Amino acid sequence: MTDSSDLGVERTLVVLKPDAVTRGLAGRILTRFEDANLKIVGVKMKQMDADFARKHYFDLEERLGAEVYNSTAGFMQSNPVMAVVLEGVNAVTTVRKIIGATLPSEAAPGTVRGDFAHQTKASADVSGKAVMNLVHASGNVEEAKYEVNLWFGEDEQFDYETAAEKLAY
DSSP state of 108: P
Length of the chain: 169
Bridge pairing between strands 81-89 and 9-16: antiparallel
| Contacts of residue 74, Cβ cutoff 8 Å, sequence gap at least 6 | 130
Return the exposure string of 108-134: e unless at least 16 CB atoms fall within 10 Å of the residue's CB, then b: eeebbbbbbbebeeeebeeeeebbbbb
> Cα(50)–Cα(164) distance, rounded to whole angstroms?
39
Q: Which of 136, 144, 147, 151 is catalytic?
A: 136
Bridge pairing between strands 81-89 and 135-137: unpaired
* 136 is an active site residue: yes
Active centre residues (catalytic): 136
